Structure 1
Amino acid sequence: MSGSHDALVIPLWIGGHAYLTMVQEFCEVRDAASGEVLRRTPLAGASEAQAAADAALQAKPAWAALAANERAAHCVAAAEVLAGYAEHFAGLIGAESGFDAATASAEIAAAVAALYGASAATDAVTAPGVLALVAGRGSPLAAPLARALPALLAGSALVFRPSPHEPSALFALAEVLAEAGLPGGVFNVVHGDEAAVAGLCSAAGIDAIACVGEAGFRERVAAIAARHGRSLLA
């Protein structure tokens, strides 16, 4: 999966900032309609997954020590920033996922609503500590965010592995969260294929692994997790 050297490389996001890594292989991120190479992402492995886990583990105690309403306030602030970038996000998702304009806009609206809804969240959730969330194709933003948000609000730190075909929205969300004041290390993004998933499953400090995507994809991720003595969160 080597790509055009002219395409923009989207870095990882670890510890509250873009994280550059010297990998040998990259994934081409293509326009879903035309096939044009839009961007490239590094194919991360075990070392990058561990770096993200370390950052999350370091950030988690201070994040968990905040009052619940303080954590919710960070999410509401992020919703306000994300709403301001709605058109940009819809463009990213439309190009990479092939969603039409209305569907892409609905994806952003759902993400904004989920973040705003943090202020009214009342369900008691046990924070898993550090949660790794693996997203499959067709789940560029709203579904992985909704899956991880209860844990985030409960005090967990997160490591996301977006689909290598649709990585831009979750990376851009990391930038939005940083702009909104989320502490560094609470939200991390590692790009890659199954090697990145395996790296997260084997990383020290990852307390739980969750997955969003189609049934076949979830089964493949569950099989990778099982090889490392892990099971996916229900």
Structure 2
Amino acid sequence: MTTQTVLGHFIDGKRVAGASGRHADIFNPATGEVQAQVALADVDEVRAAVASARQAQPGWAATNPQRRARVFIRFVDLLNTHMDELAAMLSKEHGKTVEDSRGDIVRGLEVCEFVIGAPHLLKGEFTEGAGPAIDMYSIRQPVGIGAGITPFNFPGMIPMWMFAPAIACGNAFILKPSERDPSLPLRLAELMIEAGLPAGILNVVNGDRHAVDALLTDPDIGAISFVGSTPIARYVYGTAAANGKRAQCFGGAKNHMVVMPDADLDQAVNALMGAGYGSAGERCMAVSVAVPVGEETANRLVEKLVPKIEALRIGPFTDDKADMGPVVTREAKARIEGLIDRGVEEGAKLLVDGRGFKLQGYEGGYFVGGTLFDHVTPDMDIYRQEIFGPVLSVVRAGTYEDALALPMSHEYGNGVAIFTRDGDAARDFASRVNIGMVGINVPIPVPLAYHSFGGWKASSFGDLNQHGTDSIRFWTKTKTVTARWPSGIKDGAEFVMPVMK
């Protein structure tokens, strides 16, 4: 029996072995074989990471913002230098194509570039003469220790979305990545040290619910960021709040793409292919519902989609011509295929069936073929639930108002898109739709790093979003100072509420 590599944690500037005695298998999704193991932390190991962060954070907070930003200048350079290594590492555990993994890392890198501007973003406000001989100013100070709980589908991007602004603002940070693909987050921590980050400012603790609960209840942690499913997002948000922490928690999605009769149909079809089947649909911003307006639009759209879906090239990450790879686990494959079964039972028309897909030489892999349903209705499970796989549902709408009503009435509110040449329709749609991120002829409207990312409704819990200026507000506390010097102070005590006369 071959001895498996066991990945541990990254605490106080170095890799450390796990001490709990509990481990989880790390699979190669293309083959179904165990390729390594990861240690699952207990409470003591989480506390060790917190202790390291608590010791290091005051000195880091006292480091001026410009010098903190220089760490990220060097880190961005290291990410570019090691891009091939990092992308291959990500793909081997996640299963997505290497080119897709590069995109994962680059979108995280862009947030690191954004926080190089932290010296400007952290500036406060000042009012001279706010009252008689009184000056008033506000300053932003770090929350202290932050923590991030991140999902398997973006093991590079989402950790960087969290730890980059948190650390640039002067905090220490503890990352609990997904145990399904932990290698890249550990490597990112090593590169941060190489970039000049002091030991203890970024710790990585691998684990399951035991580690999560330890972070949520630890009295030294002031803020929690989470990305995952909506039920867990609700749990994390509620538990964090009950323990006196600020929290931003991002959950599930059911992203619609409305296709108007005047849309360039070839552009719309290509957009649906990439947004629906890229990364095997394992994206919180994946388009999983196409909403063509009018029967003619629907018929033409479906006619163009079917052959493209049937021609999808599916393969392991080592196939540089693959359009998409496997899904992440055996359980994910079973769940997706079970929902396809359910869609058939509910009466949706299955036009392309991805169940039972087998790839020669990779028969044990977790592959699901591209799947297309037509005539899906809002009462069906495949419409209401987030499938998180390569399954696209076509919901036909009679009018623009019918199409608009679909995303507006769904419980999730992450992303939405409209494809049209009509500026009035696009403007009306963007104004009225109750969704956090809107694309106009853009299928996956993930904002760039200097704007904020976040959904509405059951897709997001908390008042502040990820990256952009919201991230600076989330990872800092505002302190307001009112100052008056002796020359402006009147003799005698004042017993009434002070007002500015």
**TM-score (normalizing by structure 1):** 0.90
Write out per-residue CA displacement over residues 130-184 of structure 1, whole angstroms, 9 at most, x where no aligned residue. 0011012213011221133222111000000000111111110011111112100
Residue matched to 2:97: 100
Q: Secondary structure at the match of 1:192?
A: coil
Residue matched to 1:79: 76
- Whether the aligned pair in 2 keeps the contact of 1:9 and 1:42 (CA below 8 Å) is yes
Write out per-residue CA displacement over residues 13-57 of structure 1, whole angstroms, 9 at most, x where no aligned residue. 011011223222101111122222122111102111111011111
RMSD: 2.0
Q: Does 1:201 align with 2:199?
A: no
Residue matched to 1:163: 178
- Whether the aligned pair in 1 keeps the contact of 2:104 and 2:154 (CA below 8 Å) is no
Cα 1:5–1:195 shift into 2, 3 Å: farther
Cα 1:151–1:186 shift into 2, 3 Å: same
Q: Does 1:212 align with 2:227?
A: yes
Residue matched to 1:144: 159
Aligned length: 231
Residue matched to 1:153: 168
Instruction: Return the offset for 1:217.
Output: 3.8
Q: Secondary structure at the match of 1:163?
A: coil
- Of structures 1 and 2, the one scoring higher in RCO (CA 8 A, sep 6+) is 1
- Whether the aligned pair in 1 keeps the contact of 2:222 and 2:245 (CA below 8 Å) is no
Distance 2:95 2:235 in 1: 23
- Whether the aligned pair in 2 keeps the contact of 1:147 and 1:212 (CA below 8 Å) is no
Q: Does 1:36 align with 2:51?
A: no
- Whether the aligned pair in 2 keeps the contact of 1:50 and 1:204 (CA below 8 Å) is no
Distance 1:86 1:19 in 2: 25
Q: Does 1:60 align with 2:75?
A: no
- Whether the aligned pair in 1 keeps the contact of 2:219 and 2:243 (CA below 8 Å) is no
- Whether the aligned pair in 1 keeps the contact of 2:53 and 2:172 (CA below 8 Å) is yes
Q: Which has the larger radius of gyration?
A: 2
- Whether the aligned pair in 1 keeps the contact of 2:18 and 2:40 (CA below 8 Å) is no
Out of 119-128 and 84-93, give the one that drifted further.
Answer: 119-128
Out of 202-211 and 6-15, give the one that drifted further.
Answer: 202-211
- Whether the aligned pair in 2 keeps the contact of 1:198 and 1:225 (CA below 8 Å) is no
**TM-score (normalizing by structure 2):** 0.44
- Gapped runs of 5+ residues in structure 2? 123-139, 249-461, 463-501
- Whether the aligned pair in 1 keeps the contact of 2:20 and 2:41 (CA below 8 Å) is yes
Q: Does 1:111 align with 2:126?
A: no
Q: Secondary structure at the match of 2:19?
A: coil
Q: Does 1:173 align with 2:188?
A: yes
Pairwise mapping of residues 120-135 of structure 1 onto structure 2 (< 5 A)?
120-121=117-118, 122-124=120-122, 126-135=141-150
Q: Does 1:7 align with 2:4?
A: yes
Cα 1:185–1:5 shift into 2, 3 Å: farther
Q: Secondary structure at the match of 1:210?
A: strand
Aligned partner letter, 2:89: L
Out of 198-207 and 68-77, give the one that drifted further.
Answer: 198-207
Distance 1:5 1:149 in 2: 38
Distance 1:143 1:167 in 2: 13
Distance 2:42 2:235 in 1: 17
Cα 1:100–1:21 shift into 2, 3 Å: closer
Distance 2:186 2:34 in 1: 18
Q: Secondary structure at the match of 2:68?
A: helix
